[in-house]
A and B are shown apart, each in its own frame.
Chain A
């Protein structure tokens, strides 16, 4: 069976709970109010009926013939209007009763079950129109007679109902409106009250998508410990990842010296052993470099909360490379606008990509290396060009293959370009090779830029 409400939702639970409580309270309150009002109206009618009865008694006397008669009208015009719903009747112990004009030709059958208080009896009978009549009755012995007369005043019950009914209708719809208002209020309150949880969810999703590193914001006292715990957990995960990364790094680095020894021991010797050692150490070297790059980059690529000004990184690299190539008098220059977008990533990764490309350019350049940094549409673009011999289109793909090395005579591990491509793709960026107007190779890195201050979501 399909569940109509998702009771796993805190909001639904709270709203349902409030709604049940509100409806119950309003129904009970409404019944109580209606009952009180009805009782009150009835008491007023009862009091008026008692006065009518007393007035009737006052206007009767025993005349000189020993017969009962009215000295004047009982006062209420309704007693005169036929079948008005208000009647009186005085019944002697024997003989025909005296009746109000309103009874017309009928007689009230006064025989209901009586409730006696202070000599008065109350009960309900059927009236001339078959209406429900509320009767107040008293036995009186008038002066000048020893006979007992039953004085009765009857009022149509519908008169009371006529007053009570509109009140109940009004009460019902106002309580209904109040109920709806309260439920809406409860919903608003629940939504408002649970909003910090929504903020936590958004903050967590921001962490997962890499926009921030920690749960930030002013959380209420009740939620603060949860946010703090999550932050501690994030720190812990960060430490574990960092530790694992360090271990991978240490292992990879520790393997490099033995690999060097094995490679050089095999040297340029011929023979199956030397060949196998060379081949296997080469494979090991590639694997180590591959996983080392991944371990070093993947961990940082996940944390993209950072903003990094690319300019100082490029300047540092240019300075370092100029130092290495100081004897060949290379002209290495950074060409950048004053405001280039910040790189959304880690400093070391940018150093790795730009460093390898700039080193490559320096290796091949005749005299000029240009690094052109600019950006648009949320991207940072770094183009590295040289005036060297360039790279034929057919060779470019090969150069990007893992560990591809085109020229064994120029020193280098040959991993440069593939590492650049790997890191760039881990960041969701792009890396392309083309022709430079200066004659050599033009390598273009397109990387995600950090949002500018204006584009950044406002801090909580």
Chain B
């Protein structure tokens, strides 16, 4: 899962980035509206945390431009202005939810999880495919109630697959969603991670769709 944090306060941006990274997100950070707008316009984020009061370009304007360019990723707006006037303005501009400052990090993370879950069409807070369960709030993966230890990259990959279960995902898409922007991406690493995941999970839920990519489902898929 890739997240974009657009926040001009360096400390708060760092805290948000750290918290999201800790929770298995690949995070990019922007400190002004223009940079944030550019990243959101060019990178495929699964969630954006956007501050309203930004230098260079206002958060509302950034959001409006994204929406008019049909960038549909879920956006959580952070605002110090807690009057309804401002909340309505933010939501009318296309925000999916808002959190007013000062906030507890847990609250922001919970909102982000909910937004990501809903935007990918999942309703339950715990994602399940066959015997495999992933709890995003605790970053836990279990197979038949047995907890599985995963590296950060393995978790990111599995989390993305679990959120998009039943869909065929290309290697490029997977790479784009598990690495942050400035990371040196190598598409071959995906195969390595998939191999490790299959081994660690021990159940056959990750299917290779030849020439297209991978698909997570608990049904047996005939290799094409």
Contact = CB atoms under 8 A, between A and B. Distances in A.
A126 B101 CA distance: 116
A324 B97 contact: yes
Interface in B86-108: 87-88, 91-92, 96-98, 100-105, 107
Contact of A320 (B83, B92, B107, B118): B92
B203 interface: no
A301 B68 CA distance: 38
Contact of A257 (B9, B96, B98, B105): B9
A410 to B, nearest CB: 10
B167 to A, nearest CB: 19
Interface string A344-357: 00011001100110
Main secondary structure of the interface of A (DSSP, over half): helix
A411 B110 contact: yes
Interface stretch (A94-102, A159-167, A183-191, A261-269): A261-269
Given A253-B81, A355-B84, A260 B103 contact: yes
B15 interface: yes
A257 B111 contact: no
Contact of B15 (A264, A320, A323, A351): A264
A327 B113 CA distance: 14
A402 interface: no
Given A253-B80, A264-B105, A411-B110, A317 B88 contact: yes
A348 B12 contact: no
Nearest to A296: B83
A324 B84 CA distance: 13
Given A257-B12, A264-B15, A348 B102 contact: no
Contacts of B12: 257, 260-261, 264
Contact of B88 (A261, A267, A351): A351
A327 B104 contact: no
Contacts of A228: none
Contact of B101 (A259, A320, A324): A259
B11 interface: yes
Most buried by B among A256, A263, A285, A356: A256
Most buried by B among A261, A324, A347: A261
A265 B53 CA distance: 21
Interface residues of A, number: 31
Contacts of A356: 84
Nearest to B105: A264
Interface string A279-304: 00100010001001000100000000
A256 B99 CA distance: 12
B85 interface: yes
A327 B118 contact: yes
A256 B102 contact: yes
Contact of B87 (A261, A292, A320): A320
Contacts of B53: 253
A276 interface: no
A324 B100 CA distance: 14
Interface string B57-98: 000000000000000000000001111110110011000111
Contacts of A256: 80, 100-102
Interface string B117-160: 01000010000000000000000000000000000000000000
Contacts of A352: 83-84
Contact of B84 (A253, A263, A285, A351): A351
A340 to B, nearest CB: 19
A316 interface: yes
A452 interface: no
A70 to B, nearest CB: 121
A411 B15 contact: no
Contact of A281 (B80, B81, B102, B123): B102
15 contacts: A253-B81, A256-B100, A256-B101, A257-B102, A260-B102, A263-B103, A265-B11, A292-B82, A327-B123, A347-B85, A351-B83, A351-B88, A356-B84, A411-B111, A413-B82
Given A265-B11, A413-B100, 11 more contacts: A253-B53, A257-B12, A259-B102, A261-B9, A261-B11, A264-B19, A320-B91, A324-B91, A324-B97, A348-B83, A348-B85
